[in-house]
Structure 1
């Protein structure tokens, strides 16, 4: 048998190693990370590096529904009326002219596609599946706790995004599998401390502190406060990552029109602060779910707006139109009676307070997969 020369052996080894080297290089390509802070505002961070809400401490609320808060609604067609389960809203939309300047499509839970008049496509908290592994595996073991697939959040929608905004790192708002589908094309705008949660594959990530701004042609995007928290590790008593990244709402401005996305948030003074800085807002995407808990309702409400809290926030923000979200047939029903109990409560409360400012906020209520054009 003819022996191969050492040089020939080295050449062969190099030929075998090159594809693996390129593969490892691609997988380990560093992300491009930029960090923005507002020149006139600094977020509060504890000595051990944990972000804090702008208004911590005991909460007070403008008003609370105390009795018979979940009345059946003729405009909700449900498979089960009590509780309101697997429903479709069939009621009228507001009589006011909806001139938000943005096309808004709701996929379910907190996932939206926003399209500007000049064609830019922005995704808000896109999550197309259940949860990232291994959390999805754990929840599949819990009977009755499973999310239906959202309507319309396809691979094509994900791959066409120009800008992707994430409000915080909780599993129902941030799914790494979707990032792989969106790839390196879009710019990713995230709260401070968030970039470490991304896989390393050359993504363009902008970490943005509250009241900082990024411009994309005619589109201005502002990071604004929310009242919430963050963590990714779900094992009890392990809090290394608690509040190590921040949580944002987002304000979009384009051609003189504005759109606000609250992210997950409880009610606090921060809504009035946003109004004071940016003025009245044309359309507000406000959460109305995940506030109910039999044993610890106060803690849930602290970080999630009830339907009546969302109406109060809409007044504080000067919203010309409010689009509620968080309910739905593809919701996770975390902290809710049923898929549409939060919407049922919103409609019930609003009927009772028609003489108050909260009762006069125009509501634009979507079913999952529907859109509204400017």
Structure 2
């Protein structure tokens, strides 16, 4: 029995050292940083909190139902074949015209006022701290695209989950990015990965700043954070408002539906384009992820003129069909009279008044 106990203790020690030493897990806010957050309305007892109380149901019955669904719906939750990525139009991206390019899930390359901006640039092959565990990308590895990108003026991160903040992507990007904008606390991960502190701006909800003529603000979302078992909610999460001379853009980040969307619309709307999360939903975590119909409503709340659904098309993190988010969103948008676009992964979309573009159901070819 004593040998078994020693083996368990040794295993626990090895796990702790792995979590502590592996750089992909990022850093942790210091005691001084946590003390600085104490006066914030959205920080309590060492943790950031949501505008409305949230709950993720993980009872024993929920756990076993997840296993059952993952097995019974395995063929639906992933495309039958790898998703092709459109040939990137670098010449247009490098032009002065406002545009965006989608890399799947929540990763975008924007051109606004001739500034090149990345949002949640998760371009790695797996949404996990290690390559051998986690949801694998539907398409081929996109990390090599970073080498072809122009110099990046700014990266905007919405939170520190692995499907949004990717260690391999940041390591490959960091030397071609001028500045990083992140929610409170997220900077510790970047600093551990070699990004100089002076290149990072941390914001709280409703903080607003100027950057190279752009107005940027961090807005609330109803979600959570953490890259390991011991740092849940020690960093903040949110969405971003980015306002240029020609284009007003809002990206929601991850989060459940709530009254904060109307507040965002009242303060910063209308928006020419909204990037709204509406994939990876489940009844067990309905308060921290929207279903597609709620995403369409959120677009209306923030006064979006044209909407794009995001958080789908790259990874399987829930148990619905991988095409369910976009098909439900299109149906809801048509019912509500919302202009919704659905470009292919890798397509560059002009933001010059030509929106919306017609639906081309490319995902039906991959079922």
TM over 0.5: yes
2:172 to 172, 175, 181: 181
181-190 or 363-372, which moves further after superposition? 181-190
Instruction: Identify if the C-alpha distance between structure 1 residues 180 and 151 changes in structure 2 by more than 3 Å, giving closer, same or farther.
Output: closer
> Which consecutive unaligned segments of at least 5 residues does structure 2 have?
1-32, 34-38, 57-74, 85-96, 352-367
Instruction: Identify if the C-alpha distance between structure 1 residues 178 and 130 changes in structure 2 by more than 3 Å, giving closer, same or farther.
Output: same
What are the within-5 Å matches in structure 2 for residues 1-374 of structure 1? 42-47=40-45, 49-57=46-54, 102-117=98-113, 119-131=114-126, 134-139=129-134, 145-147=135-137, 148-149=139-140, 154-157=145-148, 160-184=151-175, 185-198=177-190, 199=192, 201=194, 202-203=196-197, 204-233=199-228, 238=229, 240-255=230-245, 257-292=247-282, 297=283, 299-328=284-313, 331-351=314-334, 354=335, 359-374=336-351
CA drift of 1:123 comes to 0.2
The structure with the larger Rg is 1
Contact kept, 8 Å, 2:124 with 2:142, in 1: the verdict is no
For residues 189 and 82 of structure 1, the distance between their equivalents in structure 2, rounded to whole angstroms, comes to 33
For residues 85 and 272 of structure 1, the distance between their equivalents in structure 2, rounded to whole angstroms, comes to 39
- In the TM superposition, structure 1's runs of 4+ consecutive aligned residues that sit over 6 Å from their partners are 80-84
314-323 or 171-180, which moves further after superposition? 171-180
Contact kept, 8 Å, 2:281 with 2:289, in 1: the verdict is yes
* TM, length-normalised to structure 1: 0.68
CA drift of 1:136 comes to 2.6
Contact kept, 8 Å, 2:182 with 2:202, in 1: the verdict is yes
Contact kept, 8 Å, 1:125 with 1:164, in 2: the verdict is yes
189-198 or 242-251, which moves further after superposition? 189-198
Q: Which residue of 1 aligns with 2:71?
A: none
CA drift of 1:84 comes to 7.2
Contact kept, 8 Å, 2:54 with 2:287, in 1: the verdict is no
For residues 302 and 147 of structure 2, the distance between their equivalents in structure 1, rounded to whole angstroms, comes to 34
For residues 175 and 250 of structure 1, the distance between their equivalents in structure 2, rounded to whole angstroms, comes to 18
Higher helix share: 2
> Which consecutive unaligned segments of at least 5 residues does structure 1 have?
1-34, 36-40, 60-79, 89-100, 140-144
The DSSP-based 3-state class of the residue aligned with 2:168 is: helix
Contact kept, 8 Å, 2:277 with 2:309, in 1: the verdict is yes
RMSD over aligned CA atoms reads 2.8
For residues 211 and 166 of structure 2, the distance between their equivalents in structure 1, rounded to whole angstroms, comes to 24
CA drift of 1:44 comes to 1.4
Residues 111-153 of structure 1 deviation map (CA, whole Å, 9 limit, x = unaligned): 0001013x110000001113477433223xxxxx421336687
